[in-house]
Every structure is written in C-alpha cells, then in structure tokens.
Structure 1
Amino acid sequence: MLKYVVPKPSRRSPVINRAYYQRTESIRKIVEGWIEQCEQLGVAECTIISLGCGFDPTYFRLATLRKNTQSATKLRYVDIDYPTLITERLYMVRNEDTLFDLLPDNASVDDVGSFVSDTYSCLGIDLRDLRQLESGLESAQVKKNGGRIPILVISEVVLAYLAPDESDALLQFFAGYSEATFILHEQCIPTFDEQDEDQNLHPFALTMFRHFERTMTPLKTLREYRSLYDQLDRFERLGWSKCDILNMNLVSDEIVLQSPEEHQRICSLEPFDEYDEQFWIGAYYFIAIATTGPKAEASTTPSQSPNVLRALGLLSKIQTWNSSNNLPEGSFASLSKTTSEPSAIPSQPIEWTAHNPIAGLEINRKGHTLSIMGDEAFIFGGFGLDPNDAVEDQRVFQQRSQQTRLGSMIQYNLVTGSSRTHPREEDGPAPRMHHSAATTLNGSAIYIYGGRDGPTKVHNDVWRYTAEGGWDPLWRARISQESDASCPKGLFKHTANMMTIAGRQMMVVFGGRVASGEANFQVFAFDLQEGQWGEFKWRSEQDKQKFGGVFSHSAVVTQDANHQECLLVVGGIRMSNEQVLNTVCQITLGVETEELPRYWVEAQALDIRASTGEPLKPRFGHSAVAVDSDRIWILGGVSSPGLLQWHETMVEIQPRRATFETLKPSCFRELVMVGHATALDARRQRIVGTGGGGTCFGFGAWWDASAWGIHIQAMIM
C-alpha cells in the first residue's frame, strides 16, 4: 500500500530508514496483535482510531488482508487529522483505483472533506476541540456509552506538538472509554546527568530541540514530560489504570527483530554503520501501551479487554522486568513495577588536568587516532570538518555536508604547546576513519592499518610513521575474498595493539568489519621485523564464535594471572545480532614450535562486577587505556537499551580482582566521548583524549572539539 501514498520515494540515510522501519513495523505488530486478541476473545466488534493519520495506509492494508480471511469480529477504523490534510487524503484515495475500491459502499457521508461509513471513517478534526472530536466519533458510531466495545487509539508523534494541557485533555478524553487501549509513540529525554538533569542535557537532545525550534515546530509536551517515568505518572493521573513503556531499543529487540532471519534480511538491504546514532535514537523514542482495564492480571479481567502484550509475547517478560532491576534506568517503565532505588556503584573522585593539554586547538573530528611518541602527540585521519569551514559554535553544527573523511595529521608538542597540521601527502595514506594506530614498544614509530573511506571502500594497507622520516608504506593489498587467508582483507572498527609474542614484536589486529559489512572472526598479527602478516588460529571453534565477530570494542595489552601478556577486550557490538556487549574477555596468543611454528589464540570470559554485584553496562565506541598491569580505564561510549549516563562515562576495571568502579569526573561535564581517541602520556602521568562527536538524524552534528587530560596520580585510591 505504501507505493500509493508515496509515489516518489526519496533516498534517505540508512539510519533514517532503520528508524522508520522500527517505528512502522512495531506499530503494525501491535495493531495486528490487538486485532488478533479481539478475535480470540470472540469480540463482536472493535474500533481503531488513528490520531494525526496523515497519509498512513494502515486501513487499506488491513482491508486488503481481511478481504481474504474469515473473521467474526467486525473492525471499524477511523482516521483523524486536520481538515486540510483529510481533504488531501480523500482526494488521493478517490484518484487511485486500488485505494478507492477498498472504501466501503455504505457511506453516510461522502464529501470533499469527510467520509463516514459503518466500517471506515475519515474525519477532519482539530484534536484540541474535544466537543468536535466527540461529535465526529459519534457520527462514526464510536460512543462512550455505546457498550463495552474495545477501542485502540494510535498516536504517532502527534501529542508532542500540542501544548501539555491540550494533550493531557486528549488523553483524559479517551480514558473515558471503558475498554480503551492507547498506543503512544513519541520522543523522551532520558536522564544524562542525574545531578544536573535540567541543564546538562545530552547533545542529541540539544540538537533535536534546536532543530524543531528552528523549523517553528517546537516539541511543546516534551518539555513537560521528559522521561518515561514522567509519561507513566501522566497516564496514571489522567485515568489509565495500566501502562507499560519501552524505549525503541527495547521495542526493536523484543518486537521488531525477534527472528534471526528478519535481522539478517535488514542487515543485507544496504550498508550500515551508524550504530551510535541508531542506539541514541532508540533511547530517545518510546512506545507506551496504556489501557483502561483493571490493573491486575486475574480472573476478574473483563473478557472484552484485549491484552496486546500477550499477543506480542511480552507479558511474561514485562512481569520479569517488573520484579527485577535488570534493565538500565530509562529504558522501561510500568505502573505494575514496584519502585526501588537502584544500588549505587561506588565511585572514585578524579581530577582533570588544570589546563587543556592541547590548548587552543579545535579537533572537530571523530573516528581518528591519537598516538604519543615522547613529547609529541599525533592525531591522524577521522571524519570531521575542514578546519577552514566556518562553524556555528563549539558543540553543534548544522552543515552536515561540510563533514568529510580526513587524511591530515596534527602534530602537537605536549611541552611547548606548539602545533602544526601536516596536510595529506600524495604519497601518504588516503583519507580514512575507524582505522587503527599502534605505537612501537620503544616509542619510535606509529603503525597505521585499515579504516574506511566511504560506505563500502575499506583500506587494506599498513603505514609506518616516524617524526623524522614521515610516512613509509610497508604493506598494501587489494581487497579480495580469494586472497591469502593469513592476511586481513581490509578492516575498520577493529583494534590493533603492539605485543611481544615468542620474542618478536607484532601488531595484533582483533575484531572489526570487512568491506561487505560482515564481522571479522580471524586474529591477525603484523610482524614488524618481517613486514608480513600471519594468522593466529583459534584453538576451538566455540571460542571463535563466542569471542570473535565483534567491532567497535576496545582492547589493551595487560597481564594475566601468570603475568603473561594478553589482550583485554571490552564491550563492542556482536555482528550476528547487533547486540551491544558488556563482556570482558582475556585473549591469549602463543606460538608452538615443533617442526613448524603453530600460532594459536584462545580466550576466556571474565565476570567483572562492582562491589555491589552490578555488572558492567554495555557499551561500544569507547576507548580504553592500561594505566598499569591491573588497572584499565574505560572512557565514554554508547550503551543500549538505555542511555550511558554521565556518571557511568568512565570506569576502572581491575581484571585480577574481577571488579570495577566508576570514576567520578569533576568538570568537563559536556563531553560525550564517542568516536574519540585516547592515549597514555606516561611522561606527565596523565591520559589525554581528543575529539569525538555524533549526529542527530539530519538535524546536525556535534563535536567534543577540545582535548582534555586526566591526572592518573590525582585519583583517590
């Protein structure tokens, strides 16, 4: 039916396509599940009311489906929007034969601006006029005193544009129907900083607010009802006895992408890599399912009350969520849930450096690398703004078209504060983002590998950079699936770390994605002495499937319980189901030298918890720095299904003690730290971070434009 209401589809970004798919598919499943419940209950008739319907084709899709089915339940469908839009909608329907043939023949009203019949009505009504609304619904045979007929009301991003008192009045109006279910899909503002909730908003929220205010369509209700809990209180106060609210990340996991087949189908449609934006969108939008039926699930439940949660297979899951605190704050809310305070995870105060370690230098880029050799910091590549472009302010930029992949190198002296930008050289590496950089153990050279320059263009090359000699191409290969299996086939969003294995210095590459978008399960190492790649084979296929196939994770070199070097891999996204991970695994590599060297890799999961028993929060797009052999700092990232809050931004993991603690920053609260880069400045005993940022739909981008530093010794142990 979509082709009739959207005659000329416009090309949109993949993340917009996914967001609309999740929205339309979730509403479709909820509507069909509600109808299915009505039929199973033997309901004689039921009614669906779509508020702010626009050109939504749901009625015509349902009419087509029900033409070929035998149902004892009569369905009445009512579309409502502004009179001008309804006039346009009816004009379109009457001029498209396929849609016109689906209109009922028994219309009591059939004019330019309205259509009323026994099974379908299209009404031009201002939703702020409740008298007109009630009169229009009565003309469509939807009456408050018309018996216990189940009613489903759908509102997709409609109430947000009304003033709070106007939208409240509308919700209270429909609460007057004895067997009503209300589906509300709107924006929310999950808490980013619990200590400064009003002022320290996440940049995604700031960008969204700014966009709607500029387009003269402000989100009026959102200022009043920000969180899921605000919405929950709102429904209860306005007369709804039951309400369950899920953010769209949960909706996607539990309703939309339940089957592996559907997940694989979506992944195969087009290249996709905007996971940070996708999960932010999922945290900032929600679906509420409210009913006017009784609160308790018991035998007293009227037979005329369809339970859409049961139809969706969510009833038992929600009961489990209600009895536990397993879901992150802000991703789920329910009137059935017993409110309890989440256990507080101990935190250690830390102090930032007294000054910006890279003062006066704006680093408007993300997906870059930061390396430190002695007193010099080197920032290479990434995706960001041309430094010559005019910008609006330090944090939010409207011109998304100005962003590009960068091939320049910024060199900064950490002692004198002097800096210079080396433009891309013709015989140097091509522009790229999400590549890796690893510094040799003696700090004399930086090795750059991989990265991408476009949706499907992935680099498969190794470059060495020294302060004295500049760039030196060490290894290049065409990306081919038929190439030597011991060599990578071009990777991005992987990690690379320098390690000593069997007495040889190697750059170990773990995880990442290949040009097709599939995950990399192999573990490669570039031998610095030989200038060649080799593959470390998994000792077990089970380990390969369990620990491989991740990207946007972090990896640092540390020591295991036997004081042997190993990789500590934290978080990331598992490609097979696109789930954000909270895992910590220890990757060990070795060589067996009998007749021929045999290179092997094995892994084990570490159960890392806070002293309260809380697990790590899932995250990706973060960075990690090994402060010492048993102190790993995790900085920034994106979480799911809930938002990564400010006080959870920095974490110290102690692998041998199997514990972690949050690090409580003292300032720089506006930093988000996603797509940023960090490095250990050992000479000055601090961690230095640069860049990072994100986007909010096509509304604009924001950047952590300044660099920052944290004194390691300033921690209170």
Structure 2
Amino acid sequence: MHAKPAPFGGRLQSSIQPDGDAAIRQTDSDAALARFSAVQKQYFTDPFIKHLLGRGSQFQPPRPPLINVGTYVRSEAIDALVDQWLDLSHAEGKKCQIVSLGAGSDTRFWRIANTPRKDLLASYVEIDFPEITTKKAMSIRKNKDLSLLLGRPEDVKLAHGGTALHAPAYHLIPLDLRLPPGQALGNALNSDAGAGLLSPNLPTLLLFECVLVYMRPAESEALIQWFVDYFSAGDDGAVLGAIVYEMFGLNDPFGKVMLNNLRARNVDLPGAESYPTFDSLLQRFLRHGFDASHALTLREIRRTYISHQELERISQLEMLDEIEELELVLQHYAITWGVKLYERNGQSLKANWKGWALRAPEDQQ
C-alpha cells in the first residue's frame, strides 16, 4: 500500500527554498492531468481543462481509479459550495467576487461563465506564481474557447510583460503568496487595472485549494487576516467566505507515508502541523473571527453527500479494487469552509449565509 502525494489534483505553494520552487510549480501539471483524467473517464464534464494542458499532455495515460474517484469527490463538493455561494449572493441582491489563490490551471471561471450564473460574478481573481500565470495567459490568448468568454478582444489586456491578464470580470495576477500580504497583495490588487479589483462591499469568496498546507502557519494566517481586515473597511454590510481543501492529520502511520513521499519530491508541508486532528480544522477560521466554520473529510463527503445514483454511476466507470486505500486517503483530505459577516449601520443581511453548507441528497429534494 502506498500513499499518493497530492493525489487529487492538488496545487502546491511551499515554504521551501527558492531552488525547489520548480518542483512545486510542476504540481500544477499534475493537477491539470488529474482533472483531465477524470474528465476522460466521464466522472464529470469540463470542456476547458484540455486547453490548459501542456504540449503532449493529452496523450498521457489516465490516472489510476483511486485518483479519479478522489478528484471527483473533491470537485463535486467544492462545486456545490461555490454554486450555493453564488445563489446566496443573488438572494442578497448583490453580485459577488471570487478570489482563487494558487489557482494554477483551474477552469472554474470558464465553467461559471458558461452558465446563467455568469451574471452573478462582479470579479473573478486568480493568483499564482508568475511562471504559472504566464503559461495560463498564453493559453487564454491562443484559445477561442477560453478568450471568447472573457469579453470583447479589445477589453482583454496582458500586463506585467505577459505574466498578468485583465478582462472586465476576470483578472490573472502573478504573486508569490508567501510574501507579506500587507504590501505585496495590496499592490497586486490595485496596480494594473487602475481602480481596486475587489470591492469591500460585495460578498467575496476565497478559494484555497491545496495551498495553505504548503505555507508556514504565520504566512497563511497573515494571508487570511489581510482579507479579514480589507473587508472590515467596507461601508455596507459585507460577507467574506473561504473554502480550504487540503490534507491534514498526517501524524498517523498512513499520513507519515504521505509526508515521506512528498519529501522525496523536495516538498515539505509546514502547514500540516497546525492541523493534526479533524477538530483542529475548524479553528483556522474561528481564530480570525469568522461567524461559522465547518469541515468534512472527503471520506464523509463520499459516504453521505453524494447520491446513491451518482455512486452507482461512477462505480461503473472503472474497476476500483483499492477500497481500503481509497478510504484511508480520503480520510486524510478535508474541505473546510467558513463565513464572516460584516453588519453595520443597522443593516441586516437578507440571505442565510450561516446556512451555507453541503447538503445531503435527501436535503436537496
């Protein structure tokens, strides 16, 4: 039995030495290929991921069933939370903003822009290493399926020597998230496009998909706190939400195998030490004053939050003979989400933001 390092398309940011960053950036290709593999096997649809793969990547063999199933569970759960966030914003009577940190080759903006929910987006910001954003900007400019959903060609502009890209509702920004956010993040969100890219008065969702666990605790806490402070300056009642997907509880025998596999690739997990147990996950947002914090392991999501019909469908896609290992890996990955409400001047929020949560199939009737 072998634990797979970052098996479910995780993106890595790391607090390792700069000469190790190439290995970290390579995991973006791993993430894209894992998602493409699951799409090929018909776990879910994503017509855009193929456009963000490197040359020749489409001809690589599919990932093993264990990885495809894990990618599916992770994707379904985060999609459900993001869609519900957009619907809550609509109920609030406002557009919303999404900031994807360590976004890599993620296709979420295009998947939203290809649905009626596109009109609910005021701004979608992606941030990653400049090497990653440069490749993504080039792919966007070269591919009509990606570029047409950004708006009129004259409204889509490259910046920072091709490492950044700006469109009316989409912004791709190069930044090392390990830098102190007080200056680095503030400058990045206010430089190229003139006015600030984020309004402190709109509901805003932060996405951290396999990012914070690769940063020192002080770095990740400073990053979250920057956004908490930024939205505290708004004039109207604002809402800040966050979703974290990452591994945790790596102090048991199976977790130690995962750690050793990652260290063999020159990747350390300094953020994992702060979250040795499931209960500790909830503290990530509560220590920043969030009003609600929730967490679920991927194992629990697969067992309880995916319908029997869907489980039956995906069971027919591939023969999975690693159930025990799948359960162990899923138990070491979790999705944590939280929401912070800023209510001022006697204003009350219309939507049930504290009710933002994954729903079991019977609750979706």
Q: Into which bin does the TM-score normalised by the smaller protein fall?
A: 0.7 to 0.9
Residue 93 of structure 1: aligned partner: 140
Return the match for 1:136 from 162, 182, 188.
188
By how many angstroms is 1:288 displaced? 0.7
Displacement after TM superposition at 1:2 (Å): 2.2
In the TM superposition, what is the alpha-carbon distance from 1:142 to its structure 2 partner? 5.3
Amino acid at match of 2:185: L
Residues in 1 aligned to 2:50 and 2:302: alpha-carbon distance in whole angstroms: 24
Counterpart of 2:205, as a letter, is: L
Instruction: Determine which structure has the larger helix proportion and give its number.
Output: 2
1:226 aligns with 2:276: yes
Give the direction of change, closer, same or farther, for the CA distance of 1:142–1:159 in structure 2 (3 Å limit).
farther
Structure 2 matches for 1:329-408, cutoff 5 A?
none
Q: Secondary structure at the match of 1:186?
A: strand
Matched, 1:264 2:315: no
Q: In 1, distance between residues paired with 2:302 and 2:355?
A: 16
Task: Tell whether 2:221 aligns with 1:172.
Answer: no
Q: 1:183 aligned to 2:243? A: yes
Change (3 A) 1:305 1:118: farther
Q: State the partner residue of 1:78.
A: 125
Deviation at 1:202, TM superposition (A): 2.6
1:202-226 deviation per Cα after TM superposition (whole angstroms, max 9, x unaligned): 3211101111111111111102322
Moved over 3 A (4+): 106-109, 138-144, 304-308
Supply the AA of the counterpart residue of 2:204: I
RMSD after superposition: 2.8
C-alpha spacing 1:206/1:85, structure 2 compared with 1 (3 Å):
same
- 1:56–1:143: structure 2 CA closer, same or farther, 3 Å change rule? closer
For the residues of structure 1 that align with 2:108 and 2:74, how far apart are their CA atoms?
13
- Distance verdict in 2 for CA 1:263–1:175, change over 3 Å: same
**Equivalent in the alignment of 2:32:** none
Is 1:32 matched with 2:83?
yes
Corresponding residue of 2:21: none
Match of 1:115 in 2: 165
1:166 counterpart letter in structure 2: E
- Deviation track 1:225-261 (CA, whole Å, cap 9, x = no partner) reads 2223223223222232321111111222343x22x22
Aligned partners of 2:291 and 2:354 also within 8 Å: no
Which residue of the partner structure matches residue 284 of structure 1? Answer: 332
Q: Does residue 1:46 correspond to 2:60, yes or no?
A: no
1:159 counterpart (203, 212, 216)? 212
Distance in structure 2 (CA, Å) of the matches to 1:29 and 1:233: 23
CA contact (8 A) 2:112 2:118 kept: no
**Partner residue, 2:349:** 302
Amino acid at match of 2:158: D
Q: Give the aligned partner of residue 359 of structure 2.
A: 313
Residues 143 and 62 of structure 1: CA distance in aligned 2, closer, same or farther (over 3 Å): closer
Pick closer, same or farther for the CA change 1:269–1:96 going to 2, 3 Å. same
Deviates more, 1:85-94 or 1:167-176: 167-176
Residues 34, 308 of structure 1: 8 Å contact kept? no
Taking structure 2 as the reference length, the TM-score comes to 0.74
Q: Alpha carbons of 1:263 and 1:207: their partners in 2 closer, same or farther (altered >3 Å)?
A: same
Gaps of 5+ in 1: 191-200, 318-717
Q: Deviations over 1:85-114 (max 9, x none)?
A: 100111111122211222233647423111
Looking at structure 1, the residues matched to 196 and 312 of structure 2 have their Cα atoms a distance apart, in angstroms, of 42
Q: How far apart are the structure 2 equivalents of 1:64 and 1:304? A: 25
Query: Does 2:88 match 1:13?
Result: no
Structure 1 equivalent of residue 22 of structure 2? none
Looking at structure 2, the residues matched to 77 and 174 of structure 1 have their Cα atoms a distance apart, in angstroms, of 15
Match of 2:106 among 34, 37, 56: 56
Taking CA–CA contacts closer than 8 Å with sequence separation of 6 or more, which of the two structures ends up with the larger relative contact order? 2
Query: For the structure 1 residues 138 and 305, does the alpha-carbon distance in structure 2 shift closer, same or farther, using more than 3 Å as the test?
Result: farther
Q: CA deviation at 1:313?
A: 3.1
Find the residue that maps to 1:123 and give its secondary structure: strand
Distance 2:70 2:268 in 1: 21
The amino acid that maps onto 1:212 is L
Check the 8 A contact 2:91/2:350 in 1, yes or no. Answer: no
Cα pair 1:242 1:294 within 8 Å, conserved:
no
In the alignment, the residues of structure 2 paired with residue 306 and residue 76 of structure 1 have an alpha-carbon distance, to the nearest angstrom, of 20
* Structural mapping, 1:495-574, within 5 Å: none
**In 1, Cα distance between equivalents of 2:185 and 2:359:** 34
- Bigger CA radius of gyration: 1
* 1:88 to 1:205, Cα distance in 2 relative to 1, 3 A: same
Q: 1:216 to 1:147 in 2, by over 3 A?
A: closer
Q: Equivalent residues in 2 for 1:686-705 (5 A)?
A: none
The structural deviation recorded for 1:306 is 4.0
Is contact 1:37-1:308 (8 Å) kept? Answer: no
Which structure has greater strand proportion? 1
Name the TM-score, length of structure 1 as normaliser.
Answer: 0.39
Instruction: Tell me which residue corresponds to 1:247.
Output: 297
CA distance in 2, matches of 1:305, 1:147: 20
Supply the distance in 2 between the matched residues of 1:165 and 1:5 (Cα, whole angstroms). Answer: 32
Alpha-carbon deviations, 1:153-186, whole Å to 9, x = none? Answer: 1111101111111111112112222411000001
Contact (CA 8 Å) 1:242, 1:293: kept in 2 or not? no
Partner Cα distance (2:163, 2:351) in 1: 34
Q: Report if the CA contact (8 A) 1:14-1:271 is conserved.
A: yes
Aligned mates of 2:118, 2:155 — CA distance in 1: 23
Q: 1:253 to 1:113 in 2, by over 3 A?
A: same
Matched, 1:102 2:102: no
Q: Please tell me the residue identity of whatever aligns with 1:148.
A: N
Offset at residue 305 of structure 1 (A): 6.8
Alpha-carbon distance between aligned partners in 2 of 1:35 and 1:307, rounded to the nearest angstrom: 14
Q: Which secondary structure does the structure 2 equivalent of 1:102 belong to?
A: helix
Aligned residues of 1:179 and 1:304 also touching (Cα < 8 A): no
Gaps (5+ residues) in structure 2? 1-47, 232-237
Distance (Å, rounded) in 1 between the aligned partners of 2:353 and 2:137: 31
Task: Report the alpha carbon displacement of residue 148 of structure 1 after superposing the two structures with TM.
Answer: 2.4
From the superposition, tell whether residues 143 and 95 of structure 1 become closer, same or farther in structure 2 (CA, over 3 Å): closer
Task: Give the SS at the match of 1:53.
Answer: coil
State the identity %: 26
Count of matched residue positions in the alignment of Structure 1 and Structure 2: 296
Aligned in 2, Cα 1:269/1:108: closer, same or farther, shift over 3 Å? closer
- Give the SS at the match of 2:77: helix
Residue pairs, 1:574-589, within 5 angstroms? none
